[in-house]
Structure 1
Amino acid sequence: MRYLPLSLLGGALFALLATGPVQAASAADLGNTLTAVGAERAGNADGSIPAWNGGLIQAPAGWSPGHGDPFAGDKPLYSVDAGNLARYQALLPAGQAALIKTYPGYRLDVYPTHRSCAIPAEVAERSKSFAGQARIGSDGWSLEQAAGATVPFPVPKSGVEVMWNYKLRYMAKGRRAQISFLLREKGGALSEVRQWAYEWYPYNDAAVRDPNDVEGFEAKQLYEVLSPSSRAGEMYLVHSFLGKVQSSWIYFPGQRRVRLAPSFAYDNPIAGSDNLYFVDQINMFTGALDRYDFKLVGKKEMLVPYNSFRLVDKSNKYEQLIGNDYLNRDVQRYEKHRVWVVDATVKADKRHSFARRTFYFDEDSWNLLHVDMYDAKGNLWRVQEGSLWADPNIQACSCSEYVSYDLIARRYIADGFTQEGQILDDTAGLQGRVNDKMFNSNELRRRGER
């Protein structure tokens, strides 16, 4: 089987479409029945999802990013595999069901649910205070009037509002890490591209009153390739915006020149990915929202990757993590959580290789946990999942490591992996090593010439 058509996806999709209307809520519920960023405070009816109690706000003794698991003592409640898929399929995204059906041995180990995602006090207060200020532009997708250090739409009424909650979720103001892009070659050898990743999120600054204060920027990223030696010194600079398509630049050391890269966007393939991975799949989804219509399907209880401390631990080695067909299942952790579901279809006057995408967002943090991607014939083509973990250093959750499975090519990639990288810093540890002045084309040139 090379792919799964919609007709074979079974109960998971139909259960999803039957979730009914989005919960009736308003800004008045923020800080009461809802958290300040819009999640339901209460647990679910059977207790399998507990009430939110503030999240993991203090690091356990000895813990730091990539070291230690606050929930190491937990045991799996059950596993979902090909033998019992029918029992649990209604709790799974269509892509997870497809992976179980496609790959022998693929399974989900399900653990007790911990709502570990905290909310920084300033973000909580500002999200309540500024609720109702942000607006979607007349083009139907750009963002206007949003204040910084907030969730712009804590009580979303549309799919595009949920997308902006994801894009502006709190991740601290800056981050640096040594990350790896990993791919099994067809012969079985593991290919790795290791790079420095510097990230800057101007919208996580409480001084920002509206987009004009940051010149319309959403985020800035700088990637510097360290290995393999054939690509060492390559650099990529990306500027993402609230109301226009991203701008990108590339530095090639052999040419010693900085070039604009207008093709570094949308469904253009990433260099070295064997056409398995598009630019706008970076960080689960990146770039402008202009090519899709986004429908808010509703909220649903689902089994999703969560509290992935064991996966991101630096004791792991890539050779053991990256299996031939799928990521090592022994280090993956799934829990039952409530997720917002958004279905995106390509606009009639636009084009994209993915004619449809279905997104699944964590209600507590607005992180994107899973994406199902379909081709123009309605066949499920790619399946992508993130690996969320709580970071007490920034009082929020991170979801930087992720994998993308191509069901047609029967191969997959892993990106943003930090396990063998020397550094994983958030804002608390940056000490000025990441700042807004780094993210311009002159900096690419300076770094290339040093």
Structure 2
Amino acid sequence: MTHPSLSLLGGALLALLGTVQAQAAPAADLSQLGNRLTPIGAEKAGNADGSIPAWTGGLTQAPTGWSAGHGNPYASDKPLYSIDSRNLAQYLQLLPAGQAALIKAYPGYRLDVYPTRRSCPIPAEVAERTRTFAGQARIGSDGWRLEQAAGAAVPFPIPQNGIEAMWNYKLRYMAKGRRAQISFLLREKNAALSEVRQWAYEYYPYNNAAVKAPGDTDGIEAKLLYDVLSPSSRAGEMYLVHAFLDKVQSSWIYFPGQRRVRQAPSFAYDNPIAGSDNLYFVDQINMFTGALDRYDFKLLGKQEMIVPYNSYKLVDKANKYEQLIGQDYLNRDVQRYEKHRVWVVEATVKADKRHSFAKRVFFFDEDSWSLLHVDMYDAKGNLWRVQEGSLWAAPEIQACTSFEYLSYDLIARRYIADGFTQEGQVLDLTAGQEGRVNDKMFNSNELRRRGER
């Protein structure tokens, strides 16, 4: 039986897919980069009715007093309108199915829609290298491995299929590395707030302009290290992940009680994350993490949609988790939505593979290749989980970035907040350039050394 809160979604999804299929990507004309298109493939022009403005370079200058988590360049903006259960039908074609489901499921859930600000800048080096290497990136014969691509460049600025769009997301520019104190949060059924606080270190070797080919990074896409600070029962746990361009990720876990590092092949795909009450899978980290081998990816085209954007109110360090994390959903006063063009990719599990999510629908921002929203379906075709990302321009790296992520489980009627930085003391986006995050930190011996100190 279909869950009652999902009853209106079939028609809405069909309408969306019909629209995006009509707007499928044109044949790649790379001469358009930097002309009709931005250097990484977005449409420079605004839309017909002016609700999406032209891209003019993004937010390249830091506002007065700016630092990550402090300051909002669009603080004076007021909502144009709000979408809730009363006017949902009017906006269905502009919403992912998951947002419509959340509005239907939870009284009081709403989207405040603000003026569209195309704030995402593009570093000059990334623009130049994307133009230089456009057309040279290559997918392997198995249909998903990345065999050739240059660093600090969007590999497929005019994607011709879904797998190319996925690699644009996975290799999007967010500087060489970053570090932050983040929290993993959920409300218990008794309304108590559960929090796991940890250090997060992320290293992106493919954001380095010295990289000419996959061999220059030993096939590494990204390295992630999570060091648990609290609660006391888990303090000292560490998780290390190596994500690859051509194979399944490798993972290691350090348990302080055992004082040993163990390889963790199960820390991948749809294995539940510890402490999530089975509400969150490993490959939902950062919206999507890991190998692309279990799905077929279909590029449905581009669509104007209402999506989270310029999330400065959300990431502001004046916020406290008790006020942010409501029982059923995130405090609606801190989330900002705008109308943007997004690439839409539908992923379906391959016939010879398995995954708890039989289908996923991804929505990527055209200006940054960030992943803003994911709808996830079970094997019966029912919408099961809904993920929502954050996005904000960081002038110090001349690019947009994301930390805060939400995952709503429509069946369990609970949700997870991941990567929240508001109460953490450190939010450092330039750690990779300045050596505070480097390749030497991300190996099993370092886990052991950190655990024994």
Fold shared per TM-score above 0.5: yes
Unaligned runs of 5+ in 1: none
**Which residue of structure 1 aligns with residue 34 of structure 2?**
31
Residue 338 in 1 paired to residue 346 in 2? no
Q: Aligned to 1:369, which of 348, 367, 372?
A: 372
Q: Does 1:12 align with 2:17?
A: no
Instruction: Find the partner of 2:276 among 242, 265, 273.
Output: 273
CA distance in 1 between partners of 2:10 and 2:223 (Å): 40
Give the match for residue 390 of structure 1. 393
The alpha-carbon deviation at position 23 of structure 1 amounts to 3.5
Of residues 361, 380, 383 in structure 1, which corresponds to 2:383? 380
Aligned-partner residue type, residue 308 of structure 2: P
From 413, 416, 419, the counterpart of 1:416: 419
TM-score by length of 1: 0.98
The equivalent residue for 1:136 is 139
Q: Which deviates further from its counterpart, 341-350 or 11-20?
A: 11-20
Aligned mates of 1:190, 1:55 — CA distance in 2: 37
Contact between 2:175 and 2:432, CA under 8 Å: does it hold in 1? no
**8 Å CA contact retained: 2:176, 2:433:** no
- Counterparts of 2:181 and 2:6, CA distance in 1: 38
The answer for the alignment partner of 2:168 in structure 1 is: 165
Query: In the TM superposition, what are the counterparts of 1:48-447 in structure 2 within 5 Å?
Result: 48-427=51-430, 431-447=434-450
Check conservation: 2:25, 2:160, Cα contact below 8 A.
no
CA contact (8 A) 2:392 2:400 kept: yes
Per-residue CA deviation, residues 78-127 of structure 1 (Å, 9 max, x unaligned), is: 00000000000110000000000000000000000000000000000000
Counterpart position of 1:22: 24
Deviation for aligned residue 1:12: 2.9
Mapped partners of 2:43, 2:194: distance in 1: 42
Deviations 1:116-160 (A, max 9, x none): 000000000000110010111011101011000000000000000
Gaps of 5+ in 2: none
How big is the shift at 1:430?
Answer: 6.6
The 3-state SS of whatever aligns with 1:282 is helix
Q: Could you report, residue by residue, the CA deviation over 1:45-66 in whole angstroms, capped at 9, with x for unpaired residues?
A: 0000000000000100011100
Q: Per-residue displacement from partner, 1:378-435 (whole Å, max 9, x unpaired)?
A: 0000000001111001000011111000000000000000000000001268732211
TM-score normalised by L of structure 2: 0.98
2:452 & 2:131 partners in 1: Cα distance? 47
Separation in 2, partners of 1:7, 1:37: 38
Which 4+ residue blocks in structure 1 deviate beyond 4 angstroms? 4-7
The offset of 1:26, in angstroms, is 1.4
Return the alpha-carbon distance in structure 2 between the equivalents of residues 100 and 195 of structure 1: 32
Residue identity opposite 1:155 in structure 2: I
Q: Percent identity?
A: 82
Instruction: Note if contact 1:266-1:279 (Cα within 8 Å) is conserved in structure 2.
Output: yes
Pick closer, same or farther for the CA change 1:170–1:361 going to 2, 3 Å.
Answer: same
